[in-house]
Amino acid sequence: MGDLGFTNKQVQRLRRLLARRSARQDEGLFVIEGPVFAAEAVGAGWICVSQYRPKGSEVEITGAGPLADLAAGVFEKVATTHSPQAPLVLVELPDRNAAEVLAHSSFAVVLDQIGDPGNLGTILRSAEAAGADVVVLTPGSADAFNPKAVRASAGALFHVPVVVANLDDVADAGFLLAGTSSHTFPGRTVIEHTAADLTGRLAIVMGNEAAGLPDEWDDTHGPIGTWLTIRHRGRSESLNVAMAATILVFEVARQRGYEM
């Protein structure tokens, strides 16, 4: 424990892991910030490699790996928040097989090309709270291990599996794909979300914030098996994707009689 002679090269490594998805994938590591998330990761059994705090701090999370002190001013330059809390913890990325996770799941939330890590993290939080078994990201979606996504998940990231797969993979695993539609389209039968049967082996599919799900998908073309809409008043054409996902996953939970 203590000052391990942190070099500029090591500081740059932490910065890369916080800033770049490619660095996280290459090293198989990501960074979490602050004692609450660090303790959450440890408690959930994630493998923590090392932890870092500013010199003079007494913060230490048991089980979060060997502790190193960063020189004065370095911690603040590395962390991604305006008022960072120690420690920064290096954590191993989980090695999950998407097919195996899907095979043992009955309620999935699929995010197709979602772009904003804050929305992703918020949906993770809602999905975990509503009892979803897995959150699926299609290739090209935001990174669940982006620092913004980790923070927005409020610890849910450590409790609900996140895998990368395409929509055909989810359908082939036996899920009914329920897409969301804020408008009516020719050939697309849209059901109010409270009127649809959401009790079977189900995947709620949310589209990209700007584009949604492809307009050309309808009842006979594309992977979606049923279309859901959330009725609303007012001038807004649609809800924020994280808000819409939250409403839908809790309707699934209500219909399944989950104890909340």
Mean per-residue pLDDT, 176-195? 88
Q: CATH 3.40.1280.10 in the chain, residues? A: 98-256
Indicate if the pLDDT at residue 9 is higher than 70: yes
Confidence of residue 7 (pLDDT cuts 50, 70, 90): low
**CA end-to-end span of the chain:** 41
pLDDT at position 2 is 44
Locate the DSSP E strands across 27-175. 29-33, 48-54, 67-70, 88-92, 107-111, 134-137, 162-164
pLDDT number for residue 237: 66
The structural architecture, per CATH, of the domain 8-92 is 2-Layer Sandwich (3.30)
Lowest mean pLDDT among 9-13, 160-164, 217-221: 9-13
Name residue 94's beta-bridge partners: none
CA angle 29, 7, 15 (to 5 degrees): 40
Quote the pLDDT of residue 260: 55
Span 233-253, mean pLDDT?
87
User: Does the pLDDT value for residue 49 go beyond 90?
Assistant: yes
Total-model pTM: 0.92
DSSP code string of 142-199: PPTTSHHHHHHTTTGGGTS-EEE--HHHHHHTTPEEEEE-SS--TT--EEETTTS---
Name the percent of the chain lying above pLDDT 70: 94
Cα dihedral across residues 231, 232, 236, 240: positive or negative:
negative
Q: What is the pLDDT of residue 234?
A: 65
Chain region(s) in the chain for CATH 3.30.1330.30:
8-92
Helix (H, G, I), strand (E, B) or coil at 257: coil
Distance CA 22, CA 162 (A): 18
Q: How confident is the model over 68-106, as pLDDT tens digits?
A: 998 878 888 888 888 889 999 999 999 999 999 999 999
Fold of 98-256: Alpha/beta knot (3.40.1280)
Residue 160 pLDDT level (bands cut at 50, 70, 90): very high
pLDDT tier, 4 (very low <50, low <70, confident <90, very high otherwise): very low
pLDDT band of 209, cuts 50, 70, 90: confident
Mean pLDDT to the nearest integer, 184-205: 92
Distance separating alpha carbons of residues 155 and 234, to the nearest angstrom: 33
